[in-house]
Each structure stands twice: as structure tokens, then as C-alpha cells.
């Protein structure tokens, strides 16, 4: 009875020839993350890194080029740039994050309100933002500073936050316009869910991924705004050390050709901005990939 | 058909005028609520030595004592007749002050926009052509880096290198003293500010063109054109670029104010006598009349550009025109 079929089991198949597994860092902005981490950590632990007191005016050593004692040189008032970079980075990063938080909350609330509102109110609100957009930013900043008092970290964050939420609000509004007719939102409204309940439970989780990229980019533009305003003399005063207020000495530095006062804080600023951008781009790619799979 | 077109144009003009009115009222209140003494910009340091009587007389003369609404209505009445008042700082009619400076900003912004427009098209299509090969990757990296650099810092760096370091180019102004009519002198002064304006915006639009083209080359008609035997270059430039163009144009139209706003900062750094430095001064020194006109001007530019973008989009895609009525229906259902 051994003729006929014979059970031989599964045909041995050589395991599929796999190339080397894709390294874990493929497609991830590792360099950006590392640079950002170094800068953020350095700023947070600035006390450990600083070689001098960043606020001390060493008048015997003004405009000293980078050397062994003053690693990045000193500015026109004799302050040590190396210490100021780490100490002031805290303020710059803080303003970036605070301003973004303010503008994001505003954009979400305003955009969602406009998206849920009736047509005429929606038109009115959107026209309003358009008019707000067309007022020169400089004037708005001046006015807000006048209302909020002399510039410090807190008021400057508010100024930047209040002038940078409109683009995000438009995206939120468009998303909410699409979401509002979906059944679960209508159902929640029928059962008496309030605006903020809807916003928290149903709307925000749905449009968050589409504005995440904008949020990250907002940190970047808030930091640019801080440095530009401080440079123009409308932001932080000289005593409050930030990368922007360090650059406000740049015009004097041009006269004395003290390149380090201009180049070094700028390089730190740009390295931070670049890392934030790479992280943001990575986020956007991920968000897009999800959307396509759905 | 014709009447409906006329009607929609009429509505647009009406909205435009009303928006300008609201904007003017808003700026009027905002500027006057902001602290600061407009008398300082008119009389300079003499203000501090003025007696209270003299102050009162001066304020009365400039009409600063009346209630805000009265002041606004008076301003509006005159503005409708084309009289925007005098600049406190320059003691000349506002329109003249602006007319003097406008040419400089238009030159900087206009040439800048043209270069950005052309450069972004070239760069974007080159990147799309070389997709994922090393020139494309290199340019993408460089572009991202470039777009991260704040305008004022780029200006400082260029001044440091080209004006202070190798002394090839002047660092400020629009012309040397006495060289106002000299075209070559103007051009030399324009190089650095123009470079900053172009470099700081170029990549944003080039990237836009690149991504739009990459979407486009995956469409079916490209395959057909290739099968028909058209060379790659012809397909990219004659077909893909043409269909990517309208989106690009409308986005460019929306962002014209953005580019012009960027020139403001550049003008300030290079002390270039344009509208940017003017609005910075007028806002700082409470030159109300000047500030009003500058704000209205930039507001009008923003709105006109939005209208232009809308018109371009409607021409490409007639469905947008019907969107409003469709939206109203959609809202009434729930």
C-alpha cells in the first residue's frame, strides 16, 4: 500500500532572499533630532555650561574676538557670548513655544467656531480675519505692545501669538466645515453636546493631524518673529538676553566688524530653525501617508 | 448671463469698499489708542519745552482734541475728496511723501517678484526633471536651509561680506549722494537688497512648482504623450508645466503682499528709502495721517491680490463660482 501518493510535507522553500533590513534611522530626521536635543538640553542646563556670568558687563573686554577665555568672543558691552548663547536660548525657545501655544488655541477655537457657525456669521468672521491680515503686522505689533506694556517674554509671546493664528484658523475652519455634517457630530449635537464638548471629543482629534505641521512651523516663525522684532528694537530689551536681543547689537557690530556677534547667535538660531523644519517635514509626510491609506 | 456677471462684479466692488472702510476705521482707532505723542513727530524735541497753553493750541490746530468719531468723520470727508492730510513728520501732503518713496519700493518689490517668479519656475522644473537624483536632493537641502534664514540676518551677513569685507557693494541707501539720476549707481545699490528679497522667498515657490510637477508627471496623459513619442522635455514643459501654471499663478497672487511685506524688513536693514522704512517710522512716531494711508494702501493691495487669485481660480475651475450656493444648501440640511 505504499504506491500512489506519498506525504512529503511542505516543499522546502529557501527563505526569501532579504536584503539587509532597512536601518531604523531610514527616513527619520535623526541629525535634526540630535541637533535640536543638544541645543535644547544645553539651554535647559545652561548653568552647567556657562563659563562666565552672561549678564556681567566686563568693560575691560569689549568686542573681543573668540579666544581661549571667551570661546565665542564678547559683545560691545563686554558680555561673554558663549554663556549668553545658552542662557538666552532658553528665552528664545520659550517664546517660540508660548507664542505657538497661544496662536494654536486661538486658531482652534476661532476656526472651529467659524466652521460650526451659520453661513453669514462664518462669512463675517472670515472677512474679519482677512481684514486683520491686511493690517501691516508691524502696526499690530506696536499697538499690542502699547496695550500690553513694555516688552518682556510674556507680552512678546502674546504679541507674536495674537498676530500669527489666522492661517491656521482657516485650515481648521475648512476641516470643521467638512466634519460638521458627519453623522457622529450631528448625533452628538442632537444629544445636546455643547460646542466645547464637540470640539474636544469629536473635532480636534480629527483635524489635529492636518494642523500638526502648521503648529511645528509656527514655533519656527515665532522664533523668527522674536529675533526680527528684537533686532528692530521693538522686541526684548538688551538686558533680557535672547538670541534676538543679542542680534540687536548687530548694527553696531557691523561698524566694528565684530563678525562673531552677528554670525554666532545667527548660526544657533538657524540650526534650531532648520532642525524644527526637518522634524515638521517628517511629521507632514507621516500625516499624508496616513491620509492616503484610509 | 451678462447681468449676473455685472452683479457679481458690483458685489465684489461693494465688499472691497466696505472692507476698506472697516479697515480705515480700525486703523484709525488703533493708531490713536496706542500711546505716544503725535506732537513729537510734528514739533520734534521742542514739545518738551512747550507750556500747557501752547500744547493745547497745537493739539487744537492739528484737530487732536475732538472726540474720536468726529476726527474720523472729518478724516473720511476729506479723504473722499482726495485730501489725506499732511504728514506730521515731513510737513508735506501725505500723498506726496508716499509718491516720492513708492517708486523705490515698487522697483525693489517688482523686480524681486519677477525674479522670484521666473527663478522658481526654472528651479522647480529642474528639480522635477532630476527627481530624486543628486542635483534635486542637493537643491532641496540647500533650499530648506535658505528658507530657514531670517531675512534680517541674511541682510546682515551679506553686508558683512560684500560691503564690509570685500567692499564691492554699498551697504545702505538707494543711491550715493549726488548720484540720483545715475542708473548704474541705482543698480549697484539694488543688488544686495534684491538678493535678500529673492533668496528668502525663492525656495518656497520653487518647492511648490516642484511638488506640483511631480504630481502632474504621474498623470495618465503623460504616459500617452510619451507613448506617442514626445520627448521627455517636451512633455514636461509643454504639458505638465502648462497645467501646473494656474495653481502657481493664483498662489503667487495671494502671496504678493507677503513678498512686499518681506521687503519692509529688508528696506529697514539697508536703510533703503521705500515704503517699508516709511511705515516703520510713521508707526513709531505716531504720524497718523501717513500711517492711515500706508495701511489702506497695503490693505487694498492684499484684497486686490486675493480678488486676482480668486478670478484666476474661477477661470480655471468654474465649479468654484457655484460653491457659495452649494455651501448654503449644505448648511440648511442638518
At A138, list the grid cell. 508691524
- SS3 call for A80: strand
Residues of chain A positioned with their CB less than 8 A from the CB of B299: 131, 134-135
Q: What is the ipTM of this complex?
A: 0.79
At B141, list the grid cell. 537641502
| A106 band by pLDDT with thresholds 50, 70 and 90 | very high
Place of cell 497753553: B53
pLDDT tens string B213-270: 888 888 888 888 888 888 888 888 888 888 888 778 878 887 787 787 777 788 888 8
**Cβ-defined contact of B153 to A270 (cutoff 8 Å):** yes
**Cα separation values, A73 from A55, A256, A264, Å:** 14, 13, 10
End-to-end CA distance of chain B: 32
Check CB contact of A231 with chain B, cutoff 8 Å: yes
d(CA B98, CA B5): 35
- Confidence check: pLDDT of A292 > 60: no
Of A135, A138, A266, the CB nearest to B280: A138
Return the residue in A39, A132, A138 with the most chain B beta carbons within 10 A, the one to mutate for interface testing. A138
- Confidence check: pLDDT of B334 > 50: no
Check CB contact of A174 with chain B, cutoff 8 Å: no
- Confidence check: pLDDT of B10 > 80: yes
**Residue A118, by phi and psi: left (phi above 0), alpha (psi -120 to 50) or beta?**
beta
Of A32 and B37, the structure prediction assigns the larger pLDDT to A32
Q: Search chain B and give the residue with CA nearest A265.
A: B153
Place of cell 537624483: B133
Give exposure, B274-301, as e/b (b: 16+ Cβ within 10 Å).
bbbbbbbbbbbbbbbbbbbbbbbebbeb
**Cβ-defined contact of A134 to B294 (cutoff 8 Å):** no
Check CB contact of A9 with chain B, cutoff 8 Å: no
CA-wise closest residue to A83 among A123, A107, A118, A48: A48
For residues B139, B142, B148 and B150, what is the CA-based torsion angle, rounded to 10 degrees? -110
Of B34, B152, B295, the CB nearest to A135: B295
Every domain of chain B and the residues it spans:
2-80, 102-332
**Cβ-defined contact of A270 to B298 (cutoff 8 Å):** no
| A289 band by pLDDT with thresholds 50, 70 and 90 | low
| B174 band by pLDDT with thresholds 50, 70 and 90 | low
- pTM score > 0.90 for this model? no
**pLDDT score, position B287:** 74
Residues of chain A positioned with their CB less than 8 A from the CB of B137: none
Q: Search chain B and give the residue with CA nearest A189.
A: B334
pLDDT tens string B267-301: 888 888 888 788 777 777 777 778 788 888 888 88
Residues of chain B positioned with their CB less than 8 A from the CB of A186: 334
Of A252 and A97, the structure prediction assigns the larger pLDDT to A97
d(CA B139, CA A95): 31
Q: Search chain A and give the residue with CA nearest B33.
A: A143
Return the residue in B153, B204, B283 with the most chain A beta carbons within 10 A, the one to mutate for interface testing. B153
Return the residue in A136, A174, A232 with the most chain B beta carbons within 10 A, the one to mutate for interface testing. A136
The residue count of chain B comes to 334
Of A131, A186, A278, the CB nearest to B19: A131
- Confidence check: pLDDT of B169 > 60: yes
Residues of chain B positioned with their CB less than 8 A from the CB of A227: 150, 152-153
Mean pLDDT of the region A154-163? 85
Of A118, A147, A257, the CB nearest to B331: A118
At B38, list the grid cell. 503725535
Q: Search chain A and give the residue with CA nearest B275.
A: A136
d(CA B66, CA B71): 6
Every domain of chain A and the residues it spans:
95-294
| A135 band by pLDDT with thresholds 50, 70 and 90 | low
| B304 band by pLDDT with thresholds 50, 70 and 90 | confident
Quote the CATH superfamily of domain B102-332: MetI-like (1.10.3720.10)
**pLDDT score, position B328:** 35
| A97 band by pLDDT with thresholds 50, 70 and 90 | very high
**pLDDT score, position B61:** 67
H helix count then E strand count, chain A: 13, 0
* pLDDT > 90 in chain B, percent: 1
- Confidence check: pLDDT of A32 > 50: yes
**Cα separation values, B329 from A117, A255, B163, B322, Å:** 14, 65, 62, 11
**Cβ-defined contact of A142 to B284 (cutoff 8 Å):** yes
- Confidence check: pLDDT of B137 > 50: yes
Check CB contact of A121 with chain B, cutoff 8 Å: no
**pLDDT score, position A173:** 87
Chain A nearest-CA distance from B293, in A, is 11
- Confidence check: pLDDT of B76 > 50: yes
Q: Search chain A and give the residue with CA nearest B24.
A: A135
Of A65 and A231, the structure prediction assigns the larger pLDDT to A231
Query: In sequence order, which residues have a C-beta less than 8 Å from that of residue B294 and are 6 or more positions away?
Result: A136, B98, B275, B278, B279, B282
**pLDDT score, position B329:** 34
- Confidence check: pLDDT of A104 > 90: yes
- Confidence check: pLDDT of A99 > 90: yes
Q: Search chain B and give the residue with CA nearest A190.
A: B334
The count of CB pairs under 8 A between chains A and B is 119
**Cα separation values, A266 from A77, A116, B53, B135, B148, Å:** 18, 43, 51, 27, 11
**pLDDT score, position B321:** 54
Question: Which residues does residue B93 pair with via DSSP β-bridges, in sequence order?
Answer: B86
Place of cell 522684532: A229
**10 Å Cβ neighbour count for B184?**
8
- Confidence check: pLDDT of B36 > 70: no
**What is chain B's mean pLDDT, rounded?**
78
**pLDDT score, position A103:** 93
Q: How remote is the C-alpha of A248 from its chain's centroid?
A: 22
**pLDDT score, position A101:** 94
Mean pLDDT of the region B109-117? 88
CATH number of A95-294: 1.10.3720.10
| B327 band by pLDDT with thresholds 50, 70 and 90 | very low
pLDDT tens string A195-239: 888 888 888 888 888 788 888 888 988 998 888 888 887 777 777
Of A157 and B177, the structure prediction assigns the larger pLDDT to A157
**pLDDT score, position B87:** 76
Q: How remote is the C-alpha of B247 from its chain's centroid?
A: 19
Mean pLDDT of the region B177-202? 78
Q: Which of residues 203-222 of A touch B (CB under 8 A)?
A: 220
Whether the Cβ atoms of residue B244 and residue B214 lie closer than 8 Å to each other: no
Place of cell 501646473: B244
- Confidence check: pLDDT of B333 > 50: no
- Confidence check: pLDDT of A290 > 80: no
Residues of chain B positioned with their CB less than 8 A from the CB of A262: 153, 156-157, 160
CA-wise closest residue to B283 among B70, B116, B89, B10: B89
**Cβ-defined contact of A134 to B257 (cutoff 8 Å):** yes
Residues of chain B positioned with their CB less than 8 A from the CB of A281: 144
Q: Search chain A and give the residue with CA nearest B267.
A: A232
- Confidence check: pLDDT of B322 > 70: no
For the ranges A5-9, B175-179, B205-209, the one whose mean pLDDT is highest? B205-209
| A88 band by pLDDT with thresholds 50, 70 and 90 | confident
Mean pLDDT of the region B154-175? 76
Of A130, A136, A247, the CB nearest to B153: A247
Q: Search chain A and give the residue with CA nearest B19.
A: A131
At A80, list the grid cell. 561673554
Residues of chain A positioned with their CB less than 8 A from the CB of B302: 130, 133-134
Amino acid at each position: 500500500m505504499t504506491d500512489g501518493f506519498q506525504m512529503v510535507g511542505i516543499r522546502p522553500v529557501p527563505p526569501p532572499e532579504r536584503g539587509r533590513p532597512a536601518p531604523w534611522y531610514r527616513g527619520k530626521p535623526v541629525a535634526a533630532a540630535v541637533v535640536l536635543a543638544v541645543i535644547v538640553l544645553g539651554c535647559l542646563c545652561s548653568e552647567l555650561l556657562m563659563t562666565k556670568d552672561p549678564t556681567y558687563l566686563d568693560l575691560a573686554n569689549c568686542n573681543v574676538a573668540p579666544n581661549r577665555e571667551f570661546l565665542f568672543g564678547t559683545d560691545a558691552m563686554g558680555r561673554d557670548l558663549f554663556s549668553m548663547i545658552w542662557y538666552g536660548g532658553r528665552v528664545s525657545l520659550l517664546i517660540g513655544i508660548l507664542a505657538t501655544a497661544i496662536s494654536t488655541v486661538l486658531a482652534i477655537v476661532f476656526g472651529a467656531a467659524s466652521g460650526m457657525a451659520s453661513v453669514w456669521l462664518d462669512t463675517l468672521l472670515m472677512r474679519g480675519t482677512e481684514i486683520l491680515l491686511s493690517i501691516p503686522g508691524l502696526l499690530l505689533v506696536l499697538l499690542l505692545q502699547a496695550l500690553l506694556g513694555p516688552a518682556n517674554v510674556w507680552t512678546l509671546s502674546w504679541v507674536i501669538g495674537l498676530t500669527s493664528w489666522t492661517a491656521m484658523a482657516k485650515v481648521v475652519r475648512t476641516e470643521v466645515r467638512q466634519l460638521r455634517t458627519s453623522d457622529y457630530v450631528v448625533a452628538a449635537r442632537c444629544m445636546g453636546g455643547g460646542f466645547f464638548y464637540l470640539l474636544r471629543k469629536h473635532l480636534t482629534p480629527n483635524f489635529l493631524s492636518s494642523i500638526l505641521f502648521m503648529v511645528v512651523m509656527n514655533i519656527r516663525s515665532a522664533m523668527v518673529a522674536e529675533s526680527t522684532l528684537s533686532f528692530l528694537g521693538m522686541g526684548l530689551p538688551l538686558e533680557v538676553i535672547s538670541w534676538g536681543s543679542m542680534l540687536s547689537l548687530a548694527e553696531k557690530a557691523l561698524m566694528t566688524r565684530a563678525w562673531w556677534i552677528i554670525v554666532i547667535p545667527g548660526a544657533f538660531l538657524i540650526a534650531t530653525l532648520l532642525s524644527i523644519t526637518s522634524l515638521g517635514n517628517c511629521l507632514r509626510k507621516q500625516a499624508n501617508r496616513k491620509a492616503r491609506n484610509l | 448671463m451678462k447681468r449676473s456677471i455685472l452683479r457679481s462684479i458690483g458685489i465684489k466692488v461693494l465688499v472691497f469698499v466696505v472692507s476698506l472702510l472697516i479697515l480705515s476705521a480700525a486703523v484709525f482707532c488703533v493708531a490713536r489708542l496706542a500711546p505716544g505723542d503725535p506732537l513729537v513727530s510734528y514739533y520734534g524735541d521742542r514739545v518738551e519745552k512747550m507750556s500747557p497753553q501752547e500744547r493745547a493750541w497745537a493739539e487744537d490746530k492739528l484737530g487732536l482734541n475732538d472726540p474720536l468719531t468726529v476726527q474720523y468723520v472729518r478724516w473720511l470727508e476729506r479723504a473722499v475728496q482726495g485730501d489725506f492730510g499732511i504728514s506730521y513728520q515731513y510737513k508735506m501732503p501725505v500723498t506726496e511723501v508716499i509718491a516720492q518713496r513708492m517708486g523705490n519700493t515698487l522697483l525693489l518689490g517688482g523686480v524681486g517678484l519677477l525674479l522670484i517668479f521666473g527663478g522658481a519656475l526654472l528651479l522647480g522644473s529642474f528639480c522635477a526633471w532630476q527627481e530624486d537624483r543628486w542635483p534635486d536632493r542637493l537643491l532641496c537641502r540647500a533650499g530648506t536651509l535658505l528658507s530657514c534664514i531670517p531675512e534680517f540676518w541674511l541682510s546682515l551677513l551679506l553686508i558683512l561680506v560684500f560691503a564690509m569685507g570685500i567692499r564691492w557693494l554699498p551697504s545702505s541707501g538707494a543711491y550715493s549722494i549726488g548720484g540720483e539720476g545715475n542708473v548704474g549707481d541705482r543698480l549697484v545699490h539694488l543688488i544686495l537688497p534684491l538678493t535678500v528679497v529673492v533668496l528668502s522667498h525663492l525656495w518656497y515657490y520653487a518647492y511648490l512648482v516642484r511638488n506640483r510637477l511631480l504630481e502632474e508627471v504621474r498623470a495618465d496623459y503623460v504616459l500617452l504623450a510619451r507613448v506617442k513619442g514626445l520627448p521627455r522635455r517636451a512633455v514636461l514643459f509643454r504639458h505638465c508645466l502648462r497645467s501646473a501654471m494656474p495653481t502657481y499663478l493664483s498662489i503667487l497672487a495671494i502671496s504678493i503682499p507677503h513678498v512686499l511685506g518681506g521687503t519692509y524688513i529688508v528696506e529697514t536693514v539697508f536703510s533703503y528709502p521705500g515704503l517699508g522704512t516709511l511705515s516703520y517710522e510713521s508707526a513709531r512716531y505716531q504720524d497718523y495721517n501717513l500711517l492711515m494711508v500706508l495701511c489702506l494702501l497695503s490693505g487694498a493691495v492684499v484684497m486686490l491680490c486675493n480678488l486676482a487669485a480668486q478670478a484666476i481660480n474661477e477661470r480655471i475651475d468654474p465649479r468654484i463660482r457655484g460653491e457659495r450656493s452649494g455651501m448654503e444648501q449644505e448648511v440648511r440640511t442638518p
